[in-house]
Amino acid sequence: MGAQEWLIIAVVVLVLFGGSQLPKLARSLGEAQKEFKKGVTDVNKDEPSAKSEQSTKTEQSAKPADDA
């Protein structure tokens, strides 16, 4: 997005919510962003173990069977 688009969005938000509501809106958006990042971090902490288990299974199934 260019500068013009951001300026138009800012003006529309200012008209819709008014100057007194903007700090509350910004605070709630910041809290929502913080919660989202926390959730993504939690999922990423759980996921590497699942990926390593899956890659081990894939490697085992990819190996050719030994004909003895």
Check: CB of residue 41 under 8 Å from CB of residue 33. Answer: no
DSSP string, 2-52: -HHHHHHHHHHHHHHH-TTTHHHHHHHHHHHHHHHHHHHHHHHHHHHHHHH
The predicted pLDDT at position 44 comes to 86
Sequence ranges of the domains in the chain? 14-44
Walk along the chain (68 residues) and give the pLDDT tens digit of each residue. Answer: 789 998 999 889 888 888 888 888 889 999 999 999 999 998 888 876 655 566 566 666 666 655 55
67, amino acid identity? D
Both tokens of residue 47? 């996921």
Judge if pTM exceeds 0.85: no
Residue 22: per-residue pLDDT: 84
